[in-house]
Structure 1
Amino acid sequence: MSEPTIAAPGAHPLRALSPRDRTVQELVVRQFRDRADDPLLRGPADRTYGETHRQVAGVVAWLEARAVGEGERVVVVSENRVELLDLFLGCAFAGAIYVPVNPFLRGEQLRHQLEDAAPTLVLCEQGTHDQVREVLTGFSDPPELLVLGEGTWELDGATPPRPSTRELSAGHPPSHPTGVLYTSGTTGPSKGVVCPAGQFFWWGVLTAEYLRLRPSDHLYTTLPLYHINALGAYLQAIGVGASYTFRRGFSASRFIAEAREAEATVTYLLGAMLTILWKQEPSERDREHDLRVALAPATPPDIFERFRERFGFDLVDGFGMTELNLVVSSLPEATRPGRMGWVLDDFEARVVDDEDIEVSDGEPGELVVRPREPHSMCQGYWRRPEATAEAWANLWFHTQDRVVRDDDGALRYLDRMKDAIRRRGENISSFEVEAVVANHPAVAEAACIGVPSELGEEEVMVHVVPQPGEQPSGEDIVRWCADRLAHFAVPRYIAVVGDLPRTPNGKVRKAALREQGAATGTFDREAAGVEIRRG
């Protein structure tokens, strides 16, 4: 008999639950009960489903003993460790709201999130204790602060949760706020996204369907547990009875070896991770692993097929946000370079202009989305009713992402709306320019922006971070782009820099780059007399 699989969209067995039972708690408690002896966590901690059940039950009792009430916030400021997973589920069953905070925040950024969350309880690692304590001392009524020690569930000066045999009960409806996850804040203070129990349920179901997960799979992530992707991967594993491993961070040089050691079959490559991995020196061991598929949104089209051939596993593109869910994707065999896929049946989507009027296929516009399933998207922004209303203008969630819908319904990603460049009547995708520049052998990373043009509109500028030991010239980059981009998209300005300004979540702060503009010393291909061929 062949192993059961989540064979196609719409096939997840948990879809059989009634709408009222579609919660993260129901997803978890059924598997804890039915798969008690099966492995769930396989590093850095090793636990079965039953052992995890008992630990989470202990966390629920521990929260109750500390008088953490319904709807109260529990903040965790920590890098990846198993306690974050326990607290996430413990809060869900206790009715509290889990708030993971980036441990690399400092100063006003940390203060903003802690003040905004207004927690009852804060836990942090020793390495972040001084910063967190300094912020909390300024509170008129500071919350309790506990410090996580080196070992699992070691608490300095406090009794930790102990495994409990009490039975967990789902208890809360899909609408119940379960987490507040903060956005990166690339253009202003970060906003807390209020994620209900139903949204986490669908994070566990939808991506699992498009990765075709099965109980024998082993999911492996190096992404941070203060972001939705790594939490979603944990729920995807639980939802099908698979196992899960996390690491503290991504290392391109060690990624394949660590995935091999973990016996991983499924992984997650977001943002620049895939390009950085591709740029590693090819090895005869690149295919020595058990990986069969990776969720890899926004894979550069020009390396898509070559990456699959070199490393020997499938790539699944797609589109999702903390505020939404996985709303666009395609199965591995249908994934095509440069196309995110099709809108999932569980959502409605349109591509609209500045007036929210739907545009024709082939025309660029903003992607707007709304759910067909209740509580499968966020409830809004924590304590930000105006921002929530703005995002949901005309009863559609505005993603601020610019896309094109092809005539077969598939969507192609172009840019963030604020990052799109308009040059001499042409719309240019900074995302596409970045992908081309980043594929230059001497380039580690690239960020593309528009800067004011003396002719009106904008000129294309690229900030380039070189590979170690390399120093590409501006003319090198221009010539490379001229062979791979439309003439109007070839950058005029090139700045070779040591690094890029980033938010605490690692996203490039393009607003800061735009403020700098084309500073003195920036290569200007027009001033240098470098000509490019049209057509």
Structure 2
Amino acid sequence: MTRVESVHPEREITLARLAMDPPIDTLVDLLADQAARSPEREFLRFTAGTWTFGEIDDWTSRLARRLVAEDGVRPGDRVAIMLPNVVEWPVAWLSILGAGGVTVPVNSSYQRADLEFVLRDSGARLIFTDAEHRALVEEVRTGADDLADVRIIDVSAVGELAHLPAGRPVLDITGETLANLQYTSGTTGFPKACMLTHDYWTRLGWVCANATDLGPDDVALTSQPFSYMDPQWNTALCLTIGAPLVVLPRFSASGFMADVRKHRATFCYVLGSMPTLLYKQAPTPQDRDNDLRIVLCSGVPAALHAELEQRWGAPWREIFGMTESGVDLVSLPESTEDVGSGRLGRPVPTKQVRVIDPQGREVGEGESGELVTSGKPMMLGYWNRPEDTAQVLRDGWLHTGDVAVREEGSYRLVGRLKDMVRRGGENIASAEVERVLERDDSVVATAVVGVPDELFGEEVKAFVQLAPGVAESRETAQRILDDARNQLARFKLPRYVEFVADFPRTPSERVSKPALKARAAENPGTTYDLQPPRD
């Protein structure tokens, strides 16, 4: 754990809790506990209104009874949710869990093939949805014989539960009970479903609460779609600390910080391109007029880290995990030495982390290798995919596919095992080139890929999203690369630059490079060949 010699004794006690098991190990019991202790305390805040812990506990308990009595849900049955960011999403989730069911989150932007795959793969025979998505669900039901018995619960009716008794069904639900089939990004082929237990979610909430020192007086805010895991663990966090969760309809770079001020949020989590997009909004005199105490982020741009903190007046700290593993590494609020370093922090006490070579041997300090992790929280495996499970979970260690180095007990990512460009005899980590290019003020985001080349096998190509008003010209491309020459070896500099308006992204907010390359092949954007001198 990060050094805490100068930390206040109360903070040391909080940090010690990181190594403890959460005192309540199911989400439904966390909700019941908060409802019993603070029934009038605000829990969920959406555009449509606010709801207390007591109201949500009563609503979800009655809906769980309906699922059992009227919809025939039995322990282990899979129930899908296809909704935008409305209060019925977490209500459906907690109700399914209260009925002993397993939730299958469905991205509300999915089209027919995506939805058909998830329903068939998960075996869900019940789906919560709304008027906007009902026609698509009906189309999938009627278009496939094996999905014809999927039944729809229209969320416009899930508030009509007065005829049902209060109190959730009496069922044997424990920390080891399966809670979610959470589908991963699926950057190659269809996604896989991670089997996540109640313990996974409660432990994730417990770790994040104690790592950040959040409590009942805090206000959390999220803007990602609820079908992603981030608003779900934010919910587990707020159930742990008894604080409200503000859920925005969607992420808007231009409006996000205004919403942070409006709702007096003290905590938020961002990832992917969000930090860069936020920073590249025009500064305002109100930037530091907020109540933020800490921002957690996966992928803080190292070059912007200190400036992000200075601009909004709050510490930004890294948290690293995957859908498969929840949380592995975290940089604590007091870890000021991590600012701008690109380091992800240290392992949480319930996890072990190693950096290994292809033979599975641990490498030395400063040497790169694959990051592997074990401990709790952790998925049980991939649903109905034992071979994929065996490939990624070996001898109790999750192989992340991320390339990292260990530095003074902390860890820094340097790329992905499969996200490399092999130019001649050189392996080039795409992430390294992307980080350098994104330091340019005119660049919003980048994605670096390899493209075929007769001489070198592959050449480096950068897809670049420019800030508004910047010309998509050869001069712009050349200037960006000229600025990068002092930071990258010559062989790492992109030969090709293609300007794009945006990037296709996975549900975890990573750029989908297969989709990006397919889009470029079908409909290429403005591209420049900046032929460097041949080596």
TM-score, normalisation: structure 2: 0.89
Q: How does 1:260-409 map to 2 (within 5 A)?
A: 260-334=261-335, 335-337=338-340, 338-371=342-375, 373=376, 376-406=377-407, 408-409=408-409
Q: How does 1:221-232 map to 2 (within 5 A)?
A: 221-232=222-233
Q: CA deviation at 1:429?
A: 2.7
Deviates more, 1:432-441 or 1:292-301: 432-441
Q: CA deviation at 1:61?
A: 0.9
Q: CA deviation at 1:513?
A: 4.3
Q: CA deviation at 1:465?
A: 1.9
Local SS of the residue matching 1:172: coil
In 2 relative to 1, CA 130–517 (structure 1 residues): closer, same or farther, beyond 3 Å?
Answer: closer
Deviates more, 1:42-51 or 1:172-181: 42-51
Q: 2:62 aligns with which of 58, 67, 76?
A: 58
Is 1:139–2:142 an aligned residue pair? no
- Residue 191 of structure 2: aligned partner: 190
Q: 1:22 aligns with which of 22, 25, 36?
A: 25
Q: Retained in 2: the 8 A contact 1:55–1:163?
A: no
Q: CA deviation at 1:7?
A: 6.0
Q: CA deviation at 1:428?
A: 3.0
In 2 relative to 1, CA 29–365 (structure 1 residues): closer, same or farther, beyond 3 Å?
Answer: same
Once residues 274 and 212 of structure 1 are traced to their aligned partners in structure 2, the CA distance between those partners, rounded to angstroms, is 22
Structure 1 residue identity aligned to 2:90: L
Is 1:75–2:86 an aligned residue pair? no
- Residue 438 of structure 1: aligned partner: 438
- Residue 467 of structure 1: aligned partner: 467
In 2 relative to 1, CA 232–57 (structure 1 residues): closer, same or farther, beyond 3 Å?
Answer: same
- Structure 1 residues not aligned, in runs of 5+: none
Q: How does 1:158-169 map to 2 (within 5 A)?
A: 159=160, 165-166=166-167
Once residues 254 and 421 of structure 1 are traced to their aligned partners in structure 2, the CA distance between those partners, rounded to angstroms, is 37
Q: Retained in 2: the 8 A contact 1:369–1:397?
A: yes
In 2 relative to 1, CA 432–291 (structure 1 residues): closer, same or farther, beyond 3 Å?
Answer: same
Deviates more, 1:513-522 or 1:254-263: 513-522
Once residues 20 and 215 of structure 2 are traced to their aligned partners in structure 1, the CA distance between those partners, rounded to angstroms, is 13
Instruction: State the aligned residue count.
Output: 516
Local SS of the residue matching 2:275: helix
Local SS of the residue matching 2:468: coil
Q: Retained in 1: the 8 A contact 2:461–2:497?
A: yes
In 2 relative to 1, CA 131–439 (structure 1 residues): closer, same or farther, beyond 3 Å?
Answer: farther
Local SS of the residue matching 2:292: coil
Once residues 207 and 422 of structure 1 are traced to their aligned partners in structure 2, the CA distance between those partners, rounded to angstroms, is 38
Is 1:85–2:86 an aligned residue pair? no
Q: CA deviation at 1:41?
A: 1.9
Q: Retained in 1: the 8 A contact 2:92–2:128?
A: no
- Residue 450 of structure 1: aligned partner: 450
Once residues 163 and 278 of structure 2 are traced to their aligned partners in structure 1, the CA distance between those partners, rounded to angstroms, is 40
Local SS of the residue matching 1:269: strand
Q: 2:41 aligns with which of 34, 38, 42?
A: 38
Once residues 477 and 84 of structure 1 are traced to their aligned partners in structure 2, the CA distance between those partners, rounded to angstroms, is 43
Once residues 113 and 270 of structure 1 are traced to their aligned partners in structure 2, the CA distance between those partners, rounded to angstroms, is 25
Q: CA deviation at 1:55?
A: 1.1
Q: 2:500 aligns with which of 492, 497, 500?
A: 497
Structure 2 residue identity aligned to 1:29: A
Q: CA deviation at 1:520?
A: 10
In 2 relative to 1, CA 64–186 (structure 1 residues): closer, same or farther, beyond 3 Å?
Answer: same
> What do the CA deviations read for 1:377-398 (whole angstroms, capped 9, x no partner)?
1111111111111111343111
- Residue 256 of structure 1: aligned partner: 257
Once residues 12 and 506 of structure 1 are traced to their aligned partners in structure 2, the CA distance between those partners, rounded to angstroms, is 27
- Residue 221 of structure 2: aligned partner: 220
In 2 relative to 1, CA 122–420 (structure 1 residues): closer, same or farther, beyond 3 Å?
Answer: same
In 2 relative to 1, CA 458–409 (structure 1 residues): closer, same or farther, beyond 3 Å?
Answer: farther
Structure 1 residue identity aligned to 2:345: G
In 2 relative to 1, CA 189–16 (structure 1 residues): closer, same or farther, beyond 3 Å?
Answer: closer
In 2 relative to 1, CA 415–12 (structure 1 residues): closer, same or farther, beyond 3 Å?
Answer: closer
TM-score, normalisation: structure 1: 0.89
Once residues 333 and 495 of structure 1 are traced to their aligned partners in structure 2, the CA distance between those partners, rounded to angstroms, is 41
Once residues 14 and 162 of structure 1 are traced to their aligned partners in structure 2, the CA distance between those partners, rounded to angstroms, is 41
Once residues 174 and 520 of structure 1 are traced to their aligned partners in structure 2, the CA distance between those partners, rounded to angstroms, is 50
Is 1:476–2:479 an aligned residue pair? yes
In 2 relative to 1, CA 310–68 (structure 1 residues): closer, same or farther, beyond 3 Å?
Answer: same
- Residue 178 of structure 1: aligned partner: 179
Structure 2 residue identity aligned to 1:127: E
Q: CA deviation at 1:6?
A: 9.1
Local SS of the residue matching 1:333: coil
Q: CA deviation at 1:5?
A: 7.4
Structure 2 residue identity aligned to 1:469: G
- Residue 97 of structure 1: aligned partner: 102
Is 1:148–2:161 an aligned residue pair? no
Once residues 11 and 168 of structure 2 are traced to their aligned partners in structure 1, the CA distance between those partners, rounded to angstroms, is 29
> What do the CA deviations read for 1:270-299 (whole angstroms, capped 9, x no partner)?
111010000001111111111111111211
Once residues 506 and 160 of structure 1 are traced to their aligned partners in structure 2, the CA distance between those partners, rounded to angstroms, is 37
